[in-house]
Amino acid sequence: MSENTQEPVVRYDVAGGVATITLDSPANRNALSPRLVHKLTEALTRAESDDTARCVVLTHTGSTFCAGADLTSPPVPGAERKSPADAVTDLMVAMLAHDKPIVGLVTGHVRAGGMGLVGACDLVVAGPKADFALTEVRLGLAASIVSMTILPRLAGRDAARVFLTGETFDAARAAELSFVSAAATTDDGLVSELKQLTDAFAHCSPQGLRETKRLLNEEILVRIERKRADLGSQSMRLFSSDEAREGIAAFREKRRPAWVLG
C-alpha cells in the first residue's frame, strides 16, 4: 500500500537537546517508500545542522517501526532517482556517518529493511511490544543490503540463526544478542532507559560525540563502500527470481509458499 502523499510520513521535533525524528506512515507500516526515505534523509540533515540538538531519537507511530521496502510507491518529484537498494544504502550511510548519536526507540514490529535502520542506529532501546525478524529467507530473498548494518551488531552463530531461520524474537532476546542496547519490560521503563542516554549525551561535547562516532562506525562504512554494488546486484537478482515472486505472492495472499514442507 502506498502512503497518502498529503501525509507528512516523517515528523521532526526538537526539545531539551534531543531531535526526535518520527516515522509517521502507519497506513503502510512505515515502509521505506521513496518519499519516506527522502523525508527521513532530509530530517537527518536538519538534525545535523541543528545546534540545539545534541542527539537524535528515531522512533515511529503505529504498531510497526518499519516493515521494510515499499516498492509500490511512485518516485518523489524533484528527488534524485535511485534504485531501492541505493536509496536504502545511502540512508544507512547517512545514519552511520551522522555527526550526532542516533538512538532508535522501538515500540513495535521491526521487519526486513527496518532491521537495517535499527542496525544503523548507534544505540537502541526497545519496549515490551517490540519484536524483530529478518523474513527475507522465507520469501525467496536474502537480507542483502541491510546485512551491512546488521552483521556488525551480531556474533557469528547468532547472525546465522537470525538470517537463516527468519524467526521472530522479542526485545529481551534482541538485547541478549546485543542487537538492541536495552530492553524495557514496561513503558515507564522504556522512558527511563531513553532518558538515561539522552541525559548522558547532554554532558558530552559535540566534537567528542562526532569523533567518537567516526571511530565506532568507520569499519562499517568502509565495508558498505566495498560491498554495496555486489549486494545491490544480488538484491535485484533475487527480487526478479521465480522463487521470490512465489514467496511475495504467498505473503500477500496469506498462504504457504510452494516450497514449504509438511
- Digit-coded pLDDT (tens) for 134-166: 999 999 999 999 999 999 999 889 999 999 999
Beta strands in 127-249 (DSSP E): 131-133, 169-170, 182-183
Work out the percent of the chain whose per-residue pLDDT is above 70. Answer: 94
pLDDT tens digits, residue range 76-121? Answer: 554 556 788 999 999 999 999 999 999 999 999 999 999 999 999 9
* Residue reference for cell 521472530: 168
Q: So what's the pLDDT on residue 14?
A: 97
Q: So what's the pLDDT on residue 146?
A: 97
Cell reading at 70: 515499499
Question: Which residues are designated catalytic?
Answer: 136
Measured in degrees and rounded to the nearest 5, phi and psi for residue 116 equal -65, -40
Using CA atoms, how far apart are residues 229 and 249, in angstroms rounded to an integer?
Answer: 27
Cell reading at 3: 502512503
Q: How much is the mean pLDDT over the chain?
A: 93
Q: Would you say residue 1 has pLDDT above 50?
A: no
The model's pTM is 0.93
Confidence of residue 22 (pLDDT cuts 50, 70, 90): very high
Q: Are 140 and 244 in contact (CB under 8 A)?
A: yes
Secondary structure percentages of the chain, helix, strand, coil, to 5: 50, 15, 35
- Go through the domains of the chain in sequence order and give each one's CATH number: 1-186+206-262 (3.90.226.10)
Q: So what's the pLDDT on residue 262?
A: 81
Q: Are 22 and 59 in contact (CB under 8 A)?
A: yes
